[in-house]
Amino acid sequence: MPKITFVAHDGTEHVVEVEAGTTARDAAVDNEIPGIDGDCGGNCACATCHIFVADDWINAVGKAEPESIEAELIQFADDYTENSRLACQITMSDELDGLVLNMPLAQH
Amino acid sequence: MATQLADIADLKSIPVEDINVAQPAIFAAGEEGAWFERLRREDPVHYCHDSQFGAYWSITKYKDIMDVEMNHKVFSSESSLGGITISDPEYMGEDGGLELPMFIAMDPPKHDEQRKTVSPIVAPSHLQLLADGIRERAGEVLDELPVGEEFDWVDRVSIELTTQMLAILFDFPWEDRRKLTRWSDVATGSPESGVVESWDQRKQELFECAAYFQKLWDERIKGQPAKDLISMMAHGEATKNMPYMEFLGNLILLIVGGNDTTRNSISGGLLALHEHPEEYAKLKADPSLIPNMVSEMIRWQTPLAHMRRTALEDCEVGGKLIKKGDKVVMWYISGNRDEDSIDNPNEFLIDRKKARQHLAFGFGIHRCVGNRLAEMQLQIVWEEIMKRFSHIEVVGEPTRVFSTFVRGYSHMPVIVHK
């Protein structure tokens, strides 16, 4: 099963192992990883599962599709960068085993 | 002819097609729950062909509301089309109607730029800086309350705390802060609500608001950029050259957004605990439930009962064909009681699972920008209440606001006990 490392804003690492097909948002919320709120339930509607994909992983994960709902929402996230994604839009697979996602100070 | 006030009492006898839920008197009576329950069951996407606000669609189910929220390319917020409330300038009489552009009532791309200008004031990093001050002032307000004698919770606590917060965000002259309360009430008020005597009076008072802020703006623009909302807008690229009505519109947005909403969640949360003593007992036993309780209080109160959109093209929602130009009202208060999306929605449960999944902040690009500030204010006020009082009793029937938009209380008599 693929592993994800969520790195909190203070550097604390949380590693979770999930079934392929699980979203990174559900991986965090279901395992009570602090720092991912996911208020809309994983429907790409609230932008409270904002994460920064680690540089080494951004090509494998990909950036938010231009003009997608995700791109429209994520532009409002605090400290938005090129590596910003919504965790609900990242589906885990064996290819993403070892994925590292950095978290913002808090969700907004 | 759609139903009018006389029919409130016999809801069951009204044919569903004649239901008009957008009557302020229904909300003032606290009766809206039964009306929405019937619409959700019998006709969840409902067309009302005539009301004091004209014809409109009611969207009453959580998932349908989400679909409209997320489809902002079809469902416009644009102020010139009527904006974001069921009551638009057309229904404010010949002289009283004001079309106020504001970023909540804009579509992209202009919405996006203006929202980004003010968003940093409610970003997590800034909230951390505000937290200690909020706690200190909440403590002062609570310490001044008379113990063991009746007073109005709305005025002494809910209004005072939210008005202070807003004064800080604007860096507004402290001694004049209740002007903000008044302008907030006036902006969402109407002659029939009693807040103003005429639409013209409303307009005049809002122009006084604009004139007051103009002076502050002129001072701030001469100074260095500072972390207050006026300075941020005065120096922000997307906002520094706003036309006059857009300047007033955005001020009203920030005043109402930061005032009426949290105010009514503070009052409504207290009432909910009073009416559910078993939940209060849970809170006493475990104050670490407060953050979860705050989300539940916001769902329970839903301080803005609706947001409105205007269809830019024909579109199907929940099996009904909404036509281009139609007025579409998303009833958050109904979606937040939708049994198909929320377990036991008519129960107030401070330890509810997935309490954050509610509609009260809206979803999509217009989702409440101040949501985390609101939650923080509510958390702090409840933490400070628990340190001071054993029990707060609501000792009389609260007075509800006469509005289909602001869902809240203008008066709530209470007694606090040490």
From 1.10.630.10, 1.10.10.10, 3.10.105.10, 1.20.1250.20, which CATH number describes the B5-417 domain? 1.10.630.10
CA distance A17 to A33: 12
What CA–CA distance (Å, rounded) separates B297 from B280? 12
Taking alpha carbons only, the member of B188, B168, B233 closest to residue B225 is: B233
| Run of H or E residues at B46 | strand B45-48
Q: Is residue A59 part of a domain?
A: yes
3-state helix, strand, coil in chain B (%, to 5): 55, 10, 35
Q: Please report the pLDDT score of residue B9 as a whole number.
A: 57
Chain segment B306-332, per-residue pLDDT in tens: 999 999 999 999 999 999 999 999 999
pLDDT of B171 above 60: yes
DSSP at B359: S
Which residue in the block uniquely carries the two structure tokens 């139609």?
Answer: B326
What pLDDT digit, counting tens, does each position of B386-404 carry?
999 999 999 999 999 999 9
User: Which DSSP category does B409 fall into?
Assistant: E
Binary contact (A39, B120; C-beta < 8 A): no
| B124 to A107: CB separation less than 8 angstroms, yes or no | yes
Minimal Cα distance from A107: which residue of B?
A: B124
Q: Is the pLDDT of residue B129 over 80?
A: yes
Chain B interface mutation, best of A10, A25, A29, A40, highest count of B Cβ atoms under 10 Å: A40
- Across the interface, of A38, A43, A75, the residue whose CB is closest to B66 is A43
pLDDT digits (tens, 9 = 90+) for B104-118: 999 999 999 999 999
Indicate the angle between helix axes B260-275 and B160-170, nearest 10 degrees: 150
Residue span of the structural domain in which A75 resides: 3-102
Range in B86-95, B203-212, B241-250 with the lowest mean pLDDT: B86-95
Interchain pair A39, B125: CB under 8 A: no
Confidence (pLDDT) at B1: 39
B151-152 and B413-417 as β-strands: parallel, antiparallel, unpaired? antiparallel
Out of B70, B108, B371, closest to residue A45 by CB:
B70
A20 touches chain B (CB under 8 A): no
Would you call A43 an interface residue with chain B, using a CB distance cutoff of 8 Å?
yes
Enumerate the β-bridge partners of residue B317.
B320
What pLDDT is stored for residue B95 in this prediction? 60
β-strand partners of A17:
A3
What are the structure tokens assigned to B180, written together?
A: 């903000």
Q: Residue A56 domain-assigned?
A: yes
Q: What is the pLDDT of residue B96?
A: 63
Asked if B82 and B310 count as a contact pair (C-beta separation under 8 A), the reply is: yes
Nearest to B369 by CA among B183, B118, B36, B2: B118
Helix B124-143 to helix B160-170 angle (10° resolution) is 140
CA–CA distance, A55 with B115 (Å, rounded to integer): 28
pLDDT tens readout for residues B285-306: 999 999 999 999 999 999 999 9
**Cβ–Cβ contacts within 10 Å for residue B215, how many?**
10
The alpha-carbon gap from B52 to the nearest alpha carbon of chain A, in Å, equals: 32
Q: Which of residues 362-381 of B touch A (CB under 8 A)?
A: 363-365, 367, 369, 371-372
Q: How far apart are CA B39 and CA B401, in angstroms?
A: 22
Instruction: Name the residue with higher pLDDT: B302 or B96.
Output: B302
Cβ contacts (< 8 Å) between B367 and chain A: which residues? 45-47
Lowest mean pLDDT among B42-46, B96-100, B238-242: B96-100
CB contact, 8 Å: A38 with chain B?
A: yes
Q: Is the Cβ–Cβ distance between B239 and B117 less than 8 Å?
A: yes
CB B340 within 8 A of CB B62: yes
Question: Is A34 near chain B, with CB under 8 Å?
Answer: no
Closest alpha carbon to B155 in B402, B399, B418: B399
Calculate the average pLDDT of chain B: 93
CA–CA distance from B244 to each of A28, B92, B96, B239, B360 (Å)? 46, 20, 17, 11, 30
Could you identify the residue written with the tokens 């902006």? B187
B258 band by pLDDT with thresholds 50, 70 and 90: confident
Q: How far is B66 from chain A (nearest CA, A)?
A: 8
**Per the domain annotation, does A47 fall within a domain?**
yes
> Residue B389 has which token pair?
């009082």
User: What is the C-alpha separation between B159 and B181, in angstroms, rounded?
Assistant: 7
Tell if the CB–CB gap between A108 and B371 is shorter than 8 Å: yes
Domain ranges of chain B: 5-417
Contacts of A76 in chain B (CB under 8 A): 112, 115-116, 119, 365, 369
Residues A51-70 have a mean pLDDT of 96
A69 touches chain B (CB under 8 A): yes
Q: Does B312 touch chain A (CB under 8 A)?
A: no
Candidate from B112, B115, B357 with C-beta closest to A40: B357
Q: What is the number of domains present in chain A?
A: 1
First to last CA, chain A: 31
From residue A80, alpha-carbon distances to A34, A63, A75, B62 in Å are 20, 12, 6, 29
Mark yes or no for CB contact A78/B365 under 8 Å: no
**In CATH, what number is assigned to the domain containing residue A48?**
3.10.20.30
Which of B227, B348, B367 shows the shortest CA–CA distance to B282?
A: B348
DSSP letter (8 states) at residue B49: -
